[in-house]
Structure 1
Amino acid sequence: MVQALSYDFVQNALIAGILISIAAGIIGSLVVVNRITFLAGGIAHSSYGGIGLAIFLGLPILLGATFFAVISAIFIAFITQNNKARIDSIIGMMWALGMAIGIVFVDLTPGYNVDLMSYLFGSIIAVSNEDITFMAILDIFIIFSVLIFYKQILAVSYDSEFAKLRGISVKFFYTLILILAALCVVAAIRVVGLILVIALLTIPTYIAELFASRLSSMMIISVVFAVFFTICGLIISYFYDISSGASIIIVGVLTLLIIKLIKR
């Protein structure tokens, strides 16, 4: 493995994995605490429409996915706060519509025959320097947003009624959390893909909940576990020539099961 680190694509994969683990640990904690895992899944699959649109227009993939994901996050935030009765049906519709739009745009793109499986299940070894720059900027934005608005996010996450009484704009910060989740999902596409991104957001946080009593400590522990899963998954992927995204998630699930058994 030490010899493998001499290759640029392995170095990029390692850096990208660590950067995404930081974002996933922080945002995953907010997703789990706010019980919006299903909403994050809807955003993730809706962003596939942006991938198809970017391919059709010849734009950067992450740019198209970011646009669709953020728009979806804002729309979902509006719907969940104004029409909760039909939220499951609406999210399911957006989930399918985003995937369908992406597939249609790819089919309409002349001469495009690239395998789209890498966007569904991740291809961390194909991460470019531009992707790493995007992930680094995302991490900085997430960390600063959480540090600046930590008290407000904490209040909205655990007791929105109390937050309203304190004059905190619950709608704004709820929307902000969903937008941060959307950006994290887009960045994680290159690492684990759309299908497995929710697992990367939630598994480290489920483990962190067993050891943490505060949101801040939960975020830190989630980041540590996410980094551990990513590095182990990359090592397994390198030696056994299997998908890195799947390896990362399998390591995470096995770790969760082992810790659960030990705790019992």
Structure 2
Amino acid sequence: MSPAEFLTDLFNPDLAFLPKALLIAVMSSIVCGVVGCYVVLRGMAFIGDAVAHAVFPGLAVAFVLSGSLVIGGTVAGVLTAVLVAVFSQNRRLKEDSIIGVFFVAAFALGIVIISRAPGYAGSLQQFLFGSITGIPDEDLFIVAGTGLVVLGVVLVLHKELVTISLDRETARALGVPVFWLDLVLYVLVTLAVVISVQTIGNILVLALLITPAATARLLTDRLGVMMVLAPLIGAVSALVGLYVSWSWDFPTGGTIVLVLTAAFLAAWFLAPRQGLLSKALATRRDATGTPPVAAAGGQGVDGPV
């Protein structure tokens, strides 16, 4: 299928689910790309996977009650995030241990709840791997509104979130309210995951949160540039992934993840300064005695990552 044919399908009234899927995929990619920068900086990729498990009981309850999946997942994820933030204050257990207990328990609860619903197997597959055909119109507005809230909070608390992402102990010593900022970050991750689940699925949503930010991290040392590149990479990958999946009848969520992974691998090998090829060339220049080219630029206004 050519891009022109894909564009025609987007405006076909009989395929109304396709533009809705594209809008939600792009919106969720932008939100995940921004929030994912903090997750990557803090080295807490596990929290993204755990949150994807935590929202599952809310999705299951919403499905059984024929309610909004976005609202159901948000409520479950936020409640679990609050429990983790509270219990993590006990220094005898590390944060990852608390996350492992509560988020897996939440996922297990979701499995039990969804198993009581009619059409259990099909429902479970939709939650785990995403579905582009069953997105209600009202979810477009919920996702858009939720995304604006997340981006607004990020704009207001950017410096504080960067501080706790880079060095929580120093932040605590400086009097920064680490507990409340941890809670805010958990909630932001939860909201980013929830609005992405319907398109990409519960299992694959971690890629939308981590891979664009990790790719951007390879391309720049400046946080401001990284936070622009990450959502851009995510949105473009969502568009390309949806186009490929629609053209060749591939699963949408898996295709988007593979496109994201391809972008990451391209950056890994070809990034101007951090790419494997650039490092190999630099090593070769050093070995032959050729003076290396001076690194361009310095620390930006927002400093290096």
TM-score (norm 2): 0.80
Question: 1:258 offset after TM fit, Å?
Answer: 2.1
Instruction: Indicate the larger mover: 198-207 or 165-174.
Output: 165-174
Determine the C-alpha separation between the residues in 2 that align with 1:194 and 1:164.
33
From 5, 8, 15, the counterpart of 1:3:
8
Q: 1:242 aligns to what?
A: 250
Deviations 1:231-252 (A, max 9, x none): 1100111111111110000011
Distance in 2 between residues matched to 1:81 and 1:133, nearest whole Å? 36
For 1:149, the equivalent position in structure 2 comes to 157
Report the CA distance shift for 1:199/1:58 in structure 2 as closer, same or farther (over 3 A): same
Does residue 76 of the first structure (1) align with residue 55 of the second (2)? no
Q: 1:135 matched to which residue of 2? A: 143
Higher helix residue share? 1
Query: Could you say if the C-alpha distance between residues 5 and 57 of structure 1 is closer, same or farther in structure 2, counting changes exceeding 3 Å?
Result: closer
Which runs of no fewer than 5 residues in structure 2 stay unpaired?
A: 1-5, 277-305
Q: Is the Cα contact below 8 Å between 1:154 and 1:215 reproduced in 2?
A: no
Q: How has the CA–CA distance of structure 1 residues 89 and 166 changed in structure 2, closer, same or farther, with 3 Å as cutoff? A: closer
Identity fraction in percent = 29
Higher alpha-carbon Rg: 2
Cα deviation 1:181-239 (Å, max 9, x = unaligned): 00111111012111001111111111111122232221111011001110110011111
Give distance in 2, aligned partners of 1:43 and 1:119: 14
Q: Confirm or deny: 8 A CA contact 1:12 1:125 kept in the other structure.
A: no
Cα distance change, pair 48–19 in 1 and its aligned pair in 2 (3 A): same
Query: 1:225 and 1:131 mapped to 2: Cα distance?
Result: 23
Using a 3 Å threshold, how does the CA distance of structure 1 residues 15 and 169 change in structure 2: closer, same or farther? Answer: same
Residue 60 in structure 1 maps to residue 68 in structure 2: yes
Distance 1:92 1:22, change over 3 A: same
The one-letter amino acid paired with 2:142 is: F
The answer to whether residue 166 in structure 2 is matched with residue 161 in structure 1 is no
| Alignment-mate amino acid for residue 30 of structure 2 | I
Q: Distance in 1 between matches of 2:264 and 2:19?
A: 27
Name the structure 1 match of 2:223: 215
CA distance in 2, matches of 1:145, 1:158: 19
Give the secondary structure class of the aligned counterpart of 1:219. helix
- The answer as to whether partners of 2:127 and 2:197 remain within 8 angstroms in 1 is yes
Using the alignment, how far apart are the partners of 2:152 and 2:237 within structure 1?
Answer: 25
Amino acid at match of 2:215: I
* Counterpart Cα distance in 2 of 1:177 and 1:48: 19
Matched, 1:48 2:56: yes
2:125 paired residue number: 117
2:39, 2:165 within 8 Å by CA — same for their partners in 1? no
Residues matched between the structures, number:
263
Equivalent position amino acid for 2:70 in 1:
L
Which range moved further: 70-79 or 170-179? 70-79
What value does the CA root-mean-square deviation take over the aligned residues? 1.9
What SS does the corresponding residue of 1:124 show, helix, strand or coil? coil
Deviation at 1:84, TM superposition (A): 5.8
State the match for 1:104 in structure 2. Answer: 112
Q: Distance in 2 between matches of 1:18 and 1:61?
A: 18
Unaligned runs of 5+ in 1: none
Q: Which consecutive aligned stretches of 4+ in structure 1 deviate over 6 angstroms post-superposition?
A: none
